[in-house]
Amino acid sequence: MAMENNRPAPASETRGATCPRRRALSLMLGWPWLRGVRAAADAGASVRFAISETLVGDVNLNDARVAMQIWIKRMVQDLNLLIEPKLLATTQEIVEGTRRGQFDCVALNVIEYRQSADMLDSSQIVTAAGAAGLEQYVVLAKQNSGIRYLGDLKGRRLCTLKAPKMCIAPAWLLTILEEGHYGSAEKFFGSITPDTKVSRVVLPVFFGQADACLTTKLGFDTMCELNPQVARDLKVLVGSPPLVVDFYIFRKNYQNMYREKVIKAISSLHTSAAGQQLATLFQFRELAVMDGNCLATALRILDAAERARSRRDAGNGRG
């Protein structure tokens, strides 16, 4: 019985319920150093870890799970503690699990963070390091198209990149259209065509099959390196500020003795073969520890987009 007469169950009863599940998890994953992990689990040394599926782009989900399991095995071995993983959780699972205190550490995007920020500790955020790790969005058009300003795209064809790093691009586009009093993207553009490949978003503009595209600056820079003609023929109409869009973060009040070790393991991901696999899947290079200030710009964009939607809904209601 979990609770009787409003008193919590004895610690021995709680451990009895959870440890077999932990051992079963370890056996299922086939970890050969099980004896040390069992001892760690019995001592309460575990981390409940969740990774959002929103961080995985156009890749095979089974490959992503395998890569994550390999890396988690490495963490278990190096830290001698049990990782209880929830791999590729949905946004609903991430948000609800965070609010219920079911996860100690989560990897999520800034939209998911915003929905449960009061339950998370923003004093330590592990995310892509340096200026190169920040995300920027750009709207591109052809140099000789006669398109000079965002307003010139009214009724034109837009291609947009659909990728994890683009998670707040729609909000940013909404805010800059709102600033110009152009209305919603759906009404402003003649058509909007999404695609998961940068080349299939940028090249239609290059070849005149689309009038503009919305993509990442990194993706555009890569296209320019592969084909200098792209750099010569396309121009940036407008660009976003640098943004932190995804990261690892702990729940509030989680002060387990292994917290700093887990942070070190995550931030040194790129130094191991298993971590490099994840870096390729999640499209990052190096990770570093930052505080909540790094999220300010992205959160301001999301707040501004929400206000714009509210004003639009209120206006439609009056009509």
pLDDT tens per residue across span 160-198: 999 999 999 999 999 999 999 999 999 999 999 999 999
Q: In this prediction, what percent of the chain has a pLDDT beyond 70?
A: 83
Q: With bands split at pLDDT 50, 70 and 90, how would you rate the model's confidence at 26?
A: very low
Looking at every residue in the chain, the average pLDDT score rounds to 83
Q: Is 234 exposed, middle or buried (0-12, 13-18, 19+ CB in 10 A)?
A: buried
pLDDT recorded at residue 75: 80
pLDDT category, 318, cuts 50, 70, 90? low
Which helix H or strand E contains 51, and what residues bound it?
Answer: strand 46-52
pLDDT confidence of residue 70: 82
Q: How far is Cα 287 from Cα 271, in angstroms, rounded to an integer?
A: 10
Q: What angle do CA 92, 93, 98 make, to 5 degrees?
A: 105
Domains along the chain?
A: 3-132+245-299 (3.40.190.10), 135-241 (3.40.190.10)
* DSSP state at residue 135: B
pLDDT tens per residue across span 126-163: 998 777 779 999 999 999 999 999 999 999 999 999 99
Q: How do residues 37-93 score in pLDDT, each as one tens digit?
A: 444 444 556 889 999 999 887 777 787 788 888 888 888 887 777 888 888 899 999
